[in-house]
Amino acid sequence: MSIIYENKNIKIEIEESEIPWLKIFTQNLYKEMSEVPAEIKFEIYDLLDIIEKEMIDYYKPKKINIASFGNYMPHVHWHIMARFEEDSYFPEPMWGAKQRESKLDLPDFGIFCEKVLKALS
């Protein structure tokens, strides 16, 4: 787990994957989104918007996937993933059945993370 950003309300982590994938967690443990205070919900939605736009601009993916499950981890968090026709699972979710061996040649993820951090400041 690599945290690239955090404040008193949230943290943004990297999910190790063949695709660009970030996760936003609340710092406090909330089981459901309805339990999250309004100001933190707005912050999460702003972060989802910023990260999605940066992913689209930098990677030019086929689609952005945003998901909130938490069945195994009952702690509010959101996944933001850039998806490509050449990734191993497309069009399935990343938790689905593997479709092929990946043929991705993507721009540097570290530079993408720097762009996200700049956009957050």
What letter represents residue 59's amino acid? Y
**Pairwise CA distance, residues 9 & 71, whole Å:** 22
In total, the chain counts a number of residues equal to 121
Q: What is the pLDDT of residue 1?
A: 66
Q: List domains and CATH numbers for the chain.
A: 2-120 (3.30.428.10)
Q: What is the pLDDT of residue 46?
A: 97
What letter represents residue 113's amino acid? C
Q: What is the pTM of this model?
A: 0.94
**Pairwise CA distance, residues 34 & 98, whole Å:** 33
**Which pLDDT tens digits describe the chain residue by residue (121 residues)?**
699 999 999 999 999 999 999 999 999 999 999 999 999 999 999 999 999 999 999 999 999 999 998 777 779 999 999 999 999 999 999 989 999 999 899 999 999 999 999 999 9
